[in-house]
């Protein structure tokens, strides 16, 4: 259960409202007026709590749960313990996510601008913004409505940010145009020069980085991740893409819509990710490559070639998943053979 | 020798005191009143310096050292050059560490709260704390006694911190309960939402992250590392665990006591590390795994399965160390065979 | 073309000046008084723009370009489209870089010290420095002339910085001596204690880190990278070395001149890189190793042994590039053989 020290106690919701918000359907005979007071995991839930069952691994918890109500896939309705009010959905986890958002909404801007924030007089701040102590807004910056700029967040000269954005503590933003509903987590660095230079024995010659970072709506960028600005073209993060912590995105990279990039992955300069690409943790992608729509790259893979749409790759260097599995099986067989030869 | 620009010159210590503090035993005929003025490496030490010999690689330096005194393992006493006063210990490095702490103690809080710090009037600050210019303490936060909050460190709403902690420059802390004697290095991010969402073609649905980060006593977390808060359960860092720089710890991860996690390693969500686990640099551990007590994972390994207590693993995917070594040997042999076939 | 929101429109330059600055030679019959107004890529350039052709991949763009002038290698002069004024150079990209620097010079310090910066009265600030709101300069720090300290940058006690340096937003510096023309990007952490302790079942014993970080002239360190100070010896970054984002440099590491270290690479403690070493992205190098002059390590490699000067290595563990390629070929052949056996 959420610690009231950090989270506001939610209001109660009727199962009827929950069904409506989540798109789930009430099970047979369930009282639509039954009130749920909070959320909890299957094994912790009590009679006034809502839970969800989405992963077979937790079937035992499901069978024994004391939850007052539970999201469940249609296939599992027959196995449900009696006494649990069912909310039937083909996507129980997504249904749960929607109700959790309703119970525990994101913090909202409250319109309070700290006297201890450092705001240039030429910056434009939209209505309803929160700007915390120690935040810095530089000359010519434009912040939309209802944004939150947290302590130590630095919004560089002429940067433009849309509505309902949240810029985390100690994040740095320059040379960027940012859409609405964007969230940068603490320590994120956006818009610094990319790693561009001409090698020279008497001292590398820096190539001025003349592009920008374009971040579309509903993007999230995790703590301490870095997005370099373009060298001439822009670096682009497409709508609804989610980037985890400590990720590196090089200059000129273009990332499509709805991509997911897990922690510590890195994408080198000028590579293009089409929509809905997924990169596992610590994946590395070389520069100037093209990763097709919906491709999925397993954690720690090192990608050195283009990847066609929809394919799943793994390995170092990365190869189609099936080939990687065969490689591992072959190696294991060889080692065994070898041991037999020796003995 | 430590640069007096950055480190205070230590007071002298007698060999008797040094033996007492370090647990070492004075060698035969050593004058307990001899005074040591500073520490130095074997090859740099002079007649009033204390050194240590712990690694056979540096045996030549030991044989030629001009150090006034030296920690040494009992096995090497017979080889010691005459003129060096011996302090005999089975753990010469640990004995050295204790004396170095005595000569060069950690900076202590001095009770000075900068007028340029931004402290909410509802925050509680214990006696003796140092709070530097530009630090931010938000509403309801509780800081124990003798803590140091450095410039740009941001302590979020209702966060609780024990005694003798040090929060580094530009570190960000939210949704966390922190024990005593904890150190967060510069740029650390603790308590931000984990990477949790239900995938949806019309836009990923965020799952509110309702847990906390619990950091037990004597934990150190290195520069720019990130610890996400739990999704429902808490993320826990156990007592005495040391985490290096640029490490990622996902939501719901539970790390036991006395673990060591080297730079750029990452642990994905809901994985459990028992006590005294050691992860090498750039190791990646997938989610929902269990790593047994005292297991050791070599640098850059990619762990995709549970690892039993006490085992040493390596590789991508990680496997028992012996198997990995065999795999490498087999590959090398194959390549050679192959070359012979060709020629 | 550079967005005037973020970049100042350049002054025009004659081809004669361009040839002189870049070291290129005007092609036959080219009017030295022709004026160029801006830079653009081959496919975007118009009649008053300067472009460059350096990568055969873009030959089609070169053949069709509408650029008024273009840097080109002598070998491609015969293929140049008529109407394009040629600037002939054996290093067209480097020539372009020099002109781009002339058109778009780095931001210069303007001598303005914000009243909202937090500067200790014992700090020494050279002439012409810019110090932004929210920057912190601690006691005894010495900053040379014409430096820029950006918002949230924290310069620790007694740190010394040369001339023409730029310390990025929210960067943290302590225990460091920094040369001139050095740039630290946002979020960089320099000088914190390295990861040094003696393992002990009752609690690791910290070893005080008594060295410094020495950064020589013309070094660049990318966003959120971390450079630990030495344990006793210093950590050294040699002249003209460029380090990308999210890189980890451990204590006592010595890096020579002109090295290039790509994003997310890590170098463990006490390792030495000679001059002009290049590390690809996500490379890991174990501790106490020696990497010879001009060695090149491919992305994601894991280096566990010394590498001789001039060699190119790849793999996990890293091996000479040729051997790695042979290993991959051998594996692929085995998998095929295997498939045939099965069928």
pLDDT digits (tens, 9 = 90+) for C61-90: 999 999 999 999 999 999 999 999 999 999
pLDDT in tens, B235-249: 999 999 999 999 999
- The torsion region of residue C99 among left (phi > 0), alpha (psi -120 to 50) and beta comes to alpha
Sheet holding A266-267, edge to edge: A118-119, A136-137, A154-155, A172-173, A189-190, A226-227, A248-249, A266-267, A284-285, A302-303
Is the pLDDT reported for residue B174 higher than 80?
Answer: yes
B214-235 burial, b for 16+ CB within 10 Å, e for fewer?
A: bbbbbbbbbbbbbbbbbbbbbb
- For residue A199, which residues of chain C lie inside 8 Å, CB to CB? 260
Name residue, tokens 């472009």.
C51
Read off the DSSP letter of residue C15.
H
| Least confident among B51-60, B274-283, C99-108 | B51-60
* Residues of chain C neighbouring B133 (CB-CB closer than 8 A): 118, 136
**Per-residue model confidence (pLDDT) at position C19:** 97
Report d(CA B15, CA B215) in Å as an integer: 38
Residue whose token pair is 């001059």: C275
Q: Which of A173, A175, A226 to mutate to test the interface with C (most CBs of C within 10 A)?
A: A226
State the Cα–Cα distance between residues C18 and C20, nearest whole angstrom. Answer: 5
- Which residues contact residue B123 at a Cβ distance below 8 angstroms, ignoring those fewer than 6 apart? B137, B138, B139, B140, B141, B142, B143, B155
Q: What is the pLDDT of residues B94-109, one digit of tens each?
A: 999 999 999 999 999 9
Reduced to 3 states (helix: H, G, I; strand: E, B; else coil), residue A65 is coil
Question: Out of A246, A286, A323, whose CB is closest to C246?
Answer: A246
pLDDT in tens, A182-204: 999 999 999 999 999 988 778 88
Average pLDDT, chain B: 95
Q: Does the structure show a pLDDT above 70 at B301? A: yes
pLDDT for the residue numbered C56: 87
Chain B contact present for C201, CB below 8 A: yes
pLDDT score, position B57:
82
Cα R_g (chain B), whole angstroms: 25
Residue A253 has pLDDT above 80, yes or no: yes
At residue B337, the pLDDT reads 77
E strands, A127-245, in order: 130-131, 136-137, 142-143, 148-149, 154-155, 160-161, 166-167, 172-173, 176-178, 183-184, 189-190, 197-198, 205-206, 213-215, 220-221, 226-227, 235-237, 242-243
Shortest Cα–Cα distance, C51 to chain A (Å)? 12
What is the model's pLDDT at position B342?
53
Phi-psi region of B23 (alpha: psi -120 to 50; beta: other; left: phi over 0): left
Q: Are the beta carbons of C268 and B263 separated by less than 8 Å?
A: yes
Q: How confident is the model at residue B316 (pLDDT cuts 50, 70, 90)?
A: very high
Measured CA to CA, the distance from residue A231 to residue A206 in angstroms comes to: 11
pLDDT, position B166? 98
Residues 157-176 on B with a CB inside 8 Å of C are: 168-170
* ipTM rounded to 2 decimals: 0.95
CA distances from residue B254 to A125, B241, B246, B288 in whole angstroms, order as listed: 41, 11, 18, 10
User: Given a contact as 3+ CB pairs under 8 Å, which chains touch A?
Assistant: B, C
Interface of A with B in 51-90 (CB under 8 A): none
Tally of CB atoms within 10 A around A236: 22
Q: CA A333, A335, A340, A342: dihedral to nearest 10 degrees? A: 160
Higher pLDDT, C1 or A21: A21
Predicted TM-score of the model (pTM):
0.96
- Candidate from B144-158, B243-257, C194-208, C313-327 with smallest mean pLDDT: C194-208
Q: Which residues contact C277 (CB under 8 A, 6 or more apart)?
A: C255, C256, C259, C260, C291, C292, C293, C294, C295, C296, C297
Residue A13 has pLDDT above 80, yes or no: yes
Q: In the predicted model, is pLDDT for residue A339 greater than 60?
A: yes
Asked if B224 and C187 count as a contact pair (C-beta separation under 8 A), the reply is: yes
Question: How far apart are the C-alpha atoms of C182 and B91, rounded to whole Å?
Answer: 42
Query: For residue A192, which of B69, B243, B203, C150 has the smallest C-alpha distance?
Result: C150
| Angstrom distance (rounded) from CA C303 to CA B280 | 13
CB C234 within 8 A of CB C216: no
DSSP SS3 for A341? helix
- Per-residue pLDDT, averaged over A144-173, amounts to 98
Residue B124 tokens read as 């509680």
CA distance C243 to B200: 38
pLDDT bracket for residue A343 (50, 70, 90) = very low
User: Are the C-beta atoms of A87 and A71 separated by less than 8 Å?
Assistant: yes
Cβ neighbour number for residue C72 with a 10 Å cutoff:
24
- Arithmetic mean of pLDDT, A103-122: 96
CA distances from A279 to A255, A262, A274, B105 (A): 12, 6, 12, 45
The residues of C carrying an active-site annotation are 251
Please name every residue paired with C170 in a beta bridge, in sequence order, or none if there are none. Answer: none
SS3 C269: coil
- Per-residue model confidence (pLDDT) at position B275: 97
Confidence band for C202, pLDDT divided at 50, 70 and 90: confident
Q: How confident is the model over C285-301, as a mean pLDDT?
A: 97
Looking at chain C, which residue has its C-alpha nearest residue B104? C208
Q: How confident is the model at residue C342 (pLDDT cuts 50, 70, 90)?
A: low
pLDDT category of residue A255 using cuts at 50, 70 and 90:
very high
Task: Please compute, for residue B130, the number of CA atoms within 13 A of its CA located in the half-sphere on the CB side.
Answer: 15
Residues of A in contact with B203 (CB under 8 A): 218, 240, 258
Task: Find the helix packing angle between A92-103 and A15-22, rounded to 10°.
Answer: 120
CA distance C258 to C266: 17
Residue C331 has pLDDT above 90, yes or no: no
């Amino acid at each position: 259960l959420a610690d009231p020290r950090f989270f506001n106690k939610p209001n109660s919701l009727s199962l009827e409202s929950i069904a409506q918000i989540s798109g789930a359907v009430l099970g047979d005979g369930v009282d639509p007026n039954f009130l749920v007071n909070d959320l909890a995991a299957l094994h912790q839930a009590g009679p006034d709590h809502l839970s969800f069952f989405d992963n077979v691994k937790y079937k035992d918890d499901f069978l024994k749960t004391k939850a007052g109500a539970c999201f469940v896939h249609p296939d599992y309705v027959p196995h449900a313990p009696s006494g649990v009010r069912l909310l039937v959905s083909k996507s129980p986890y997504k249904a749960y996510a929607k109700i959790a958002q309703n119970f525990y909404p994101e913090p909202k801007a409250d319109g309070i601008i700290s006297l201890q924030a450092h705001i240039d007089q030429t910056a434009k701040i939209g209505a309803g913004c929160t700007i915390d102590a120690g935040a810095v807004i530089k000359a010519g910056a434009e912040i939309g409505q209802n944004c939150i700029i947290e302590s130590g967040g630095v919004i560089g000269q002429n940067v433009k940010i849309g509505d309902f954005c949240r810029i985390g503590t100690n994040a740095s933003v320059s040379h960027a145009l940012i859409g609405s509903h964007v969230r940068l987590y603490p320590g994120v660095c956006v818009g610094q020069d990319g790693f561009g230079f001409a090698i020279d024995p008497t001292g590398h010659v820096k190539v001025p980085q003349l592009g920008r970072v374009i971040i579309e709506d509903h993007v999230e960028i995790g703590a301490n991740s870095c997005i370099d600005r373009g060298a001439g073209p822009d670096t682009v993060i497409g709508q609804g893409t989610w980037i985890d912590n400590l990720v590196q995105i090089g200059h000129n990279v273009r990332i499509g819509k709805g991509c997911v990039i897990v922690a510590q992955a890195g994408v080198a300069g000028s590579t293009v990710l089409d929509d809905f690409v997924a990169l596992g943790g610590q994946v590395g992608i070389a520069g100037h490559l093209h990763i097709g729509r919906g491709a999925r790259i397993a954690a720690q893979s090192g990608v050195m070639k283009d990847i066609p749409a929809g394919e799943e790759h793994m390995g170092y260097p990365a190869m189609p998943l099936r080939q990687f599995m065969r490689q591992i099986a072959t190696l294991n067989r060889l080692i065994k053979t070898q041991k037999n030869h020796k003995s």
